[in-house]
Structure formats: structure tokens, C-alpha cells
């Protein structure tokens, strides 16, 4: 049988199965993704970039549902479990922000959200293939 045709009777053909559950499996799923790429040699910044990549649907779903802080915490936990200490850089944008941005937002001078400001430092990250990671506004 040619390789491009799918044979439903072939036991060696890969097939995916969705399992519905009432239990929230986001934690285990995120840790599995992180550990998989950690074992392939990716660093913590590259893994975070994968969570932001819209082509990785499962990872993107975790980021959208739980937020970047959750993902960073899970990455740090998994790396620590493997004996690799990581440190997230401090955002450059936060160092220059005034104590109260509510006045700036009303005047229209500052329209960035807290998540954009917190992740501004990683504009130079690349995906595992070396392509630039786009900054997405969610």
C-alpha cells in the first residue's frame, strides 16, 4: 500500500483518540510537554516559546487557559526535578513603568497589557527550528 493512503485496518498506523473526562488534566499535560522538550535538549526559553506558538495546539491551550505565570512555574518545577536550575529574566518594560499606570491608560499614552509588558524581554526568541517567534496579542 502506498504511504500516502490511510489504511484503517493497519495496526501499525498511528491514530489519535480523544478521552473525555471531568478531571482537569492541564497540569499533567503541561508537565508532559515540558519534560518531552527538555529531554530533547530545549532550554526553558525555547519551551516557553513553544507554548506561545499557535501551531502547537495543546501547549497553546494550556497557556490560554492557565496563563503565562502557570506555564513559567511548571517549566521551573520540571527543570528543577531534572536538576537544572533556571532563572527568568526581569522584564525591561516593568523597570520603566510608573507606579500608577491608570492615568497613562486614560490619556492613551500606554496601551500595553500587563502580560505584554511581562513578556517583552523575549522578542528575540526563536522556535526550535530557528525561525523568529511572533509576538501574538491575545
Residue 126: φ, ψ to 5°? -120, 160
Instruction: Give the C-alpha separation, 43 to 59, whole Å.
Output: 16
Q: Is the pTM of this model over 0.85?
A: no
Cell numbers for 24: 482537569
Q: What is the pLDDT of residues 82-100, one digit of tens each?
A: 999 888 887 654 444 444 3
Instruction: Specify the residue for cell string 500516502.
Output: 4
- Identify the pLDDT of residue 17: 77
pLDDT band at 66 (very low <50, low <70, confident <90, very high): very high
Residue 24 above 70 pLDDT? yes
Amino acid at each position: 500500500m502506498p504511504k500516502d493512503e490511510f489504511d484503517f485496518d493497519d495496526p501499525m498506523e498511528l491514530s489519535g483518540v480523544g478521552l473525555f473526562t471531568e478531571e482537569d488534566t492541564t497540569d499533567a499535560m503541561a508537565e508532559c510537554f515540558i519534560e518531552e522538550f527538555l529531554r530533547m535538549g530545549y532550554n526553558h526559553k525555547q519551551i516557553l516559546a513553544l507554548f506561545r506558538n499557535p501551531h502547537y495546539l495543546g501547549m497553546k491551550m494550556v497557556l490560554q487557559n492557565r496563563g503565562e505565570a502557570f506555564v513559567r512555574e511548571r517549566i521551573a518545577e520540571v527543570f528543577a526535578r531534572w536538576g537544572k536550575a533556571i532563572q527568568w529574566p526581569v522584564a525591561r518594560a516593568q523597570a520603566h513603568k510608573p507606579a500608577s499606570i491608570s492615568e497613562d491608560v486614560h490619556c492613551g499614552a500606554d496601551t500595553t497589557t500587563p502580560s505584554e509588558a511581562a513578556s517583552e524581554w523575549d522578542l528575540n526568541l526563536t522556535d526550535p527550528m530557528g525561525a523568529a517567534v511572533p509576538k501574538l496579542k491575545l
